[in-house]
Amino acid sequence: MYPEEIVAPIREDLAGAGFKELFTPEEVDAVMKESGTTLCVINSVCGCAARNARPAAKLSVGMTDKTPTNLVTVFAGVDAEAVAQARKYTLPYPASSP
């Protein structure tokens, strides 16, 4: 687990761009049952998320008329149960990092 003072600005990077934070497996399941398309970003403090994942997710929103209806994020290394549940929806593709 990472200290909140490190995590807070990283969370805000996506939350400020309109991504809803999910903290529990139940929240993940609920949003995945909603109609429409869901973009779920598995956020992290790692450099890959900082340099590639978060900027790409933010840039992708609104670029076309096919913007997902549900923009959500879970935080790896912090909200472990929510991340584990979100990763079930990405199968058969494995996580790019633990």
Give the catalytic positions in this structure.
46, 48
The first and second tokens of residue 94, run together, are 């494995």
Distance of alpha carbon 65 from alpha carbon 86, whole angstroms: 25
What DSSP letter does each residue of 49-78 carry, written as one string? IIIIIHHHHHHHTTSSTT--SEEEEEETTT
Report the alpha-carbon angle 26-20-4, nearest 5.
Answer: 90
